[in-house]
C-alpha cells in the first residue's frame, strides 16, 4: 500500500480496473468463515458450480466517496446488505450478516483508498459485493458452498459535462416475470436485458424502458435504473410493483423530495398512456444518481417531458441534494453515511 497510482480521474469510465485488495469469505458446512483481504483477483471454482449453470448468484453495487476534508465515506451500505440478503433468500443462498457485509465494504474501501478520487472530480470508488454458489454439482439444486467477495474499481463521473437528458424507448421484451426474480439483484435479470438494451442502442436510445410483465401498461424499470416523474402539480411519483428492483437511490430521493424539498410523494402505478401527467421524469440509480429522461418513445411517438437538452428544475434540485449528501457537502439524514477513518 501507499504506492502512488496514476489515474486520470477525468478520463475514467465505468470499466474494470484491478485494484490492490478484495475481500473473500467462504460458506462451508453451514457457516461463513472469518473472511480476509486478498491480493489475487482470480477465483478458482469447480466447473460444476451452480453459479455457472443455474445462475445461483447475486450481487450489489455501491460507492465510496471522497469528502472535501479528505475523508472517505460509504452511502447507506446497510441498505445494500438488506437487499443482498433479500436476493439470497429468493435463490436459497445463505445470508450475510449485515455487520459482516458492511465491514467487508469498509475494509475493501480502506485498503484501496488510493483509488478513491479527489473530491470535486465526481469520480468515485465503485464497490461490487457478490455471492456465488460453488462446488461440485450437476443437478438443479442449491450449492453446498458459497463465496462472498467484495471488490472495487475506480469509476468516472457519469456525466462529464453536466447533467444532461437522454431518450428511452419502450421495450417489447420483459426483464422479469410477474412473480419471478425482478425484485432480486441476480445475474439472470441482467443477462435477459442485454438483447433489449442492444436493440435500443442500435436505434439511438440510451436504453429501454420495461413495462409490467403481466399487462404491459405500466412503467417498471428504465434499463438498470428506477423511474420517477414529477407531476405538473409538483408531486414525486415512482412506480410500485413486486417485479421492480427496489433502488436505494430511489428511496433516498423519495425521502429527500419529502423531507428536504417539502414535496408530496407517491409510490403507485404509472401508466404508460398517462405519462403526460409528468412535467419532468428521470431514471435513478447508484451509477448516475439521476439521468434526466428527455423523452420516451412509445408506439412510434416520442413524448418529450421537460426538454431533450436541459435538466428540469426539480430534477436538478433532487440531483444536487443527493449528490451533495453522497460527497459530504450536504447534511445527511441520520444513519445514511458510514465514515471510513484510519481507525475504522
Ligand atoms: C435493475 C436495476 N434497477 C434499479 C437500480 C438502481 O438501484 P440503486 O439505486 O440501488 O443503485 C439498479 C442498480 O443497482 C438496477 O440494476
Residue 1 has pLDDT above 80, yes or no: no
Provide mean pLDDT across the span 236-257: 97
- pLDDT for the residue numbered 183: 97
The radius of gyration of the chain from alpha carbons, rounded to an integer in Å, stands at: 20
Q: From the alpha carbon of 175, which atom of ligand 1 is closest?
A: 1
Give per-residue pLDDT as tens, 91-107: 999 999 999 999 999 99
Residue 4 has pLDDT above 70, yes or no: no
Structurally, what CATH architecture does the domain formed by 166-326 represent?
Alpha-Beta Barrel (3.20)
- pLDDT for the residue numbered 341: 79
Q: Give the Å distance between the CA of 60 and the centre of ligand 1.
A: 9
User: Model pTM?
Assistant: 0.97
DSSP string, 158-196: S-SSS---EEEEE-SS-SS-TTSSTTS-BHHHHHHHHHH
Cα(268)–Cα(3) distance, rounded to whole angstroms?
Answer: 50
The C-alpha cell that represents 163 in the structure block: 447533467
> Boundaries of CATH 3.20.10.10 in the chain?
166-326
- pLDDT for the residue numbered 2: 46
Is the C-beta atom of 249 inside 6 A of ligand 1? yes
Residue nearest to atom 15 of ligand 1 (CA): 224
Q: Give the Å distance between the CA of 112 and the centre of ligand 1.
A: 24
Q: Give the Å distance between the CA of 285 and the centre of ligand 1.
A: 5
Is the C-beta atom of 326 inside 6 A of ligand 1? no
- pLDDT for the residue numbered 3: 59
Buried b (16+ CB within 10 A) or exposed e, 147-169: bbbbbbbbbbbbbeeebebebbb
Residue 19 has pLDDT above 90, yes or no: yes
Indicate which residue of 63, 110, 185, 250 is catalytic: 185
Residue 342 has pLDDT above 80, yes or no: no
> Which CATH number is 9-155's, of 3.50.50.100, 3.40.50.300, 3.30.470.10, 3.30.56.10?
3.30.470.10
Give per-residue pLDDT as tens, 50-69: 999 999 999 999 999 999 99
Tell me which residue of 122, 142, 125 sits closest to 133, measured CA to CA. Answer: 142
Is the C-beta atom of 207 inside 6 A of ligand 1? no
Give per-residue pLDDT as tens, 114-166: 999 999 999 999 999 999 999 999 999 999 999 999 999 999 988 877 899 99
Q: Give the Å distance between the CA of 102 and the centre of ligand 1.
A: 19
Q: From the alpha carbon of 223, which atom of ligand 1 is closest?
A: 1
Cα(120)–Cα(10) distance, rounded to whole angstroms?
Answer: 11
Ligand 1 mutation pick, 181, 196, 225, max ligand atoms within 8 A of CB: 225
Is the C-beta atom of 247 inside 6 A of ligand 1? yes
Ligand 1 mutation pick, 286, 287, 291, 322, max ligand atoms within 8 A of CB: 286
Burial class (CB in 10 A: 0-12, 13-18, 19+), 329: middle
- pLDDT for the residue numbered 85: 98
Tell me if 162 sits within 8 A of 28, measured CB to CB.
Answer: no
- pLDDT for the residue numbered 344: 56
Percent of the chain with pLDDT over 70: 98
> Boundaries of CATH 3.30.470.10 in the chain?
9-155
Is 235 tagged catalytic?
Answer: no
Q: Give the Å distance between the CA of 185 and the centre of ligand 1.
A: 8
Give per-residue pLDDT as tens, 172-191: 999 999 999 999 999 999 99
* H/E segment holding residue 248: helix 248-259
Q: Give the Å distance between the CA of 247 and the centre of ligand 1.
A: 5
- pLDDT for the residue numbered 162: 80
Amino acid at each position: 500500500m501507499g504506492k502512488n497510482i496514476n489515474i486520470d480521474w477525468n478520463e475514467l469510465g465505468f470499466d474494470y480496473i484491478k485494484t490492490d485488495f478484495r475481500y473473500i469469505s467462504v460458506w462451508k458446512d453451514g457457516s461463513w468463515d472469518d473472511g480476509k483481504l486478498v491480493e489475487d483477483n482470480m477465483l478458482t471454482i469447480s466447473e460444476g458450480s451452480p453459479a455457472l449453470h443455474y445462475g445461483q448468484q447475486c450481487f450489489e453495487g455501491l460507492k465510496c466517496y471522497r469528502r472535501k476534508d479528505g475523508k472517505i465515506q460509504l452511502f447507506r451500505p446497510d441498505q445494500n446488505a438488506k437487499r443482498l440478503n433479500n436476493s439470497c433468500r429468493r435463490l436459497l443462498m445463505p445470508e450475510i450478516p449485515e455487520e459482516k457485509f458492511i465491514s467487508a465494504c469498509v475494509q475493501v474501501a480502506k485498503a484501496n483508498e488510493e483509488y478513491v478520487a479527489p473530491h470535486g472530480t465526481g469520480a468515485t470508488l465503485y464497490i461490487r459485493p457478490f455471492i456465488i454458489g460453488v462446488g461440485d454439482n450437476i443437478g438443479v439444486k442449491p450449492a453446498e458452498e458459497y463465496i462472498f467477495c467484495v471488490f472495487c474499481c475506480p469509476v468516472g463521473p457519469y456525466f462529464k459535462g453536466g447533467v444532461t437528458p437522454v431518450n428511452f424507448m419502450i421495450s417489447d421484451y420483459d426483464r422479469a416475470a410477474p412473480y419471478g426474480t425482478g425484485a432480486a439483484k441476480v445475474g439472470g435479470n441482467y443477462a435477459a436485458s442485454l438483447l433489449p438494451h442492444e436493440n435500443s442502442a442500435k436505434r439511438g436510445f440510451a436504453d429501454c424502458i420495461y413495462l409490467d410483465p403481466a399487462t404491459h401498461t405500466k412503467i417498471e424499470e428504465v434499463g438498470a435504473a428506477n423511474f420517477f416523474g414529477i407531476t405538473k402539480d409538483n408531486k414525486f411519483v415512482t412506480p410500485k410493483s413486486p417485479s421492480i428492483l427496489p433502488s436505494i437511490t430511489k428511496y433516498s430521493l423519495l425521502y429527500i423530495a419529502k423531507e428536504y424539498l417539502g414535496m408530496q410523494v407517491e409510490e403507485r402505478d404509472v401508466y404508460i398512456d398517462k405519462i403526460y401527467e409528468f412535467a419532468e421524469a428521470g431514471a435513478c440509480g447508484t451509477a448516475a444518481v439521476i439521468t434526466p429522461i428527455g423523452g420516451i418513445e412509445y408506439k412510434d411517438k416520442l413524448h418529450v417531458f421537460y426538454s431533450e437538452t436541459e435538466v428540469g428544475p426539480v430534477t436538478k434540485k433532487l440531483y444536487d441534494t443527493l449528490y451533495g449528501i453522497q460527497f459530504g457537502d450536504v447534511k445527511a439524514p441520520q444513519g445514511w453515511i458510514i465514515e471510513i477513518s484510519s481507525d475504522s
